[in-house]
Amino acid sequence: MSSSTAAKIKRQAAPAESSDDRPALLLDWYDRHRRRLPWRPPAGERADPYRVWLSEIMLQQTGVKTVGPYFEKFLARWPDVAALGRASLDDVLRMWAGLGYYSRARNLHACAVAVLRDHGGVFPETEEGLRKLPGIGPYTAAAIGAIAFDIRTMPVDGNIERVVSRLYAVEEPLPQAKPLIQELASTLLGPSRAGDENSRAGDSAQALMDLGSSICTPKKPACALCPLNEDCAARLRGDQETFPRKAPKKTGTLRRGAAFIVTRGDELLVRTRAENGLLGSMTEVPGSDWLVGQDDKAALKQAPAVKSVARWHRKAGVVTHVFTHFPLELVIYTAEVAARTRPPEGMRWVPIATLADEALPNVMRKAIAHGLGG
């Protein structure tokens, strides 16, 4: 640990009496209380790199409870990375629909293709090699490295940030505190077995993740059940719920737009979004640009040029959705067209009954439900 880090910890008055015992206490707790997760093998068995990678990508910005069914669905369809690498991007996006943050799905597919094409369907066993793959950054490379290959490294997710920031009472707010938290978290790596310097790195990381998920929760942490409670600086101060410190969150400016629900009997008019950018390659109903301060008249002028539409009917109310960087309001317009009406260029008719099979993001599902509702 650097002298600057040590000085920061000293200023924060973190207790040190039992610091050498922390990794062992943590692993002992994990051996008794580890969560059962679909991507986690039984104790003593080596993790499947494909399952670790797939779960880590899905868990970015998404909770375990939500990810579970998607993980099982992907695994049933594509049991290994080679199978996923041979799939089409459209199929992957359809299976991902509803999970959000769709750039993850595009990177997931690109990574599988790269592993199949460049590595014979086998993941690299080094952090450096993993980071060269599409969609794998420093955290994901460390997570796969530690959990699947027992590389002696510590990935730091939101749960681990919370545990470590409380354990050491890290006063510096996020995201500035990330390097310090990373360094402190690495001191919690478990002891190695004789002759094996990489032993149980993955278990140490997963122990901290489980501790943050089940005990050291954001609100009302169960400190009495924590294996590290006697050595936690924030608990000794009584202000554990105030950690990690966070800079004020910036809220994006509201954007507005329109979505156009056009039906031809039991079919709906849709199109595919551009490959790059927000919701890239996803299916959507035609719509206007999403702009700050856009009025309804300007949005209506961007309606699709469907020849037999004489008049657009505006539905009461609006559809709201919140993206990472901005909230959105959509006005919904509807129209019905004759049976033989051709779709505008770049659009297509799809049966309403098969919409569940389309790669529709949640905002589009909301718009369609509003437009097709009574």
* Token pair of 108 as six digits: 């997931």
DSSP string, 91-160: HHHHHHTTS--THHHHHHHHHHHHHHHHHTT---SSHHHHHTSTT--HHHHHHHHHHHH--S-----HHH
Count of Cβ atoms closer than 10 Å to residue 246 Cβ = 12
| Amino acid identity at 30 | Y
Cα–Cα dist 328/360, whole Å:
17
Count of Cβ atoms closer than 10 Å to residue 359 Cβ = 24
DSSP string, 23-79: HHHHHHHHHHH----TTSPPTTSPPPHHHHHHHHHHHTTS-HHHHHHHHHHHHHH--
Cis peptide before 351 (omega within 30 of 0): no
Cα–Cα dist 273/97, whole Å:
14
CA distances, 1 to each of 5, 276, 288 (Å) = 7, 42, 54
Cα–Cα dist 235/173, whole Å:
18
56 catalytic? Reply is: yes
Of 56, 127, 183, 267, which residue is the catalytic one? 56
Cα–Cα dist 71/68, whole Å:
5
DSSP string, 271-321: EE--SSSTTTT-EE--B---BTT--HHHHHTT----TT----EEPSS-EEE
The catalytic residue positions are 56
